[in-house]
Amino acid sequence: MVFKETPLIGAFVVDLEEHRDDRGSFARAFCRREFEEHGLDGTVVQANLSVNRHAGTVRGMHYQVPPATETKFVRCLRGAIHDVIIDLRPESGTYGQHFGIELSAENRTALYVPRMFAHGFQTLVDDSEVMYLVGEFHAPGAERGVRHDDPAFGIAWPLPVAVISDKDAAWESFEPEPR
């Protein structure tokens, strides 16, 4: 795996290191040891699959608060998404900043999302599937979110929002912590 730092402290784009021959290719898609060698938490307790029928679908921006903060390792298995993360760690030098990247079945790129980062995505094509490995169990009482269109972040989604859940549309505007 090839780890590339994003502009947000602790978040990484992870590309496959493919080995090709006449049969096709082989690549390690996840390795806890390699994560730990890069100072990342490689714990995985759940693998989630998100199936999305329509281009323009937005899911997010989700995170969990202590004691159930979670890491995520996100990869698009079919179709394409615009994946976005927001650093919500008040002590971070990139607090309140966001980063977005296209993840697709074609580019096979993945994104490592640290604890206390909001995460969400928009599907770029119909019938997109996203798998993410999660480092903590889902804890409904610790679940939080921020608005996908919150002016505090200024996220430029590539498509008009076609589908969003009532829950995701109802998140409150972000209130930054005093620094």
54 has catalytic annotation: no
Q: Which two tokens stand for residue 116?
A: 């206390």
Q: 92-111 in b/e burial notation, b at 16+ Cβ within 10 A?
A: bebbbebbbbebbeeebbbb
112 has catalytic annotation: no
pLDDT in tens, 103-147: 999 999 999 999 999 999 999 999 999 999 999 999 999 999 999
Q: What are phi and psi of 160, to 5 degrees?
A: -60, 150
Considering the candidates 62, 82, 98, 148, report the single residue annotated as catalytic: 62
Considering the candidates 98, 119, 132, 148, report the single residue annotated as catalytic: 132
In the chain, the domains with their CATH numbers are: 43-169 (2.60.120.10)
pLDDT in tens, 147-178: 999 999 999 999 999 999 999 999 998 988 76
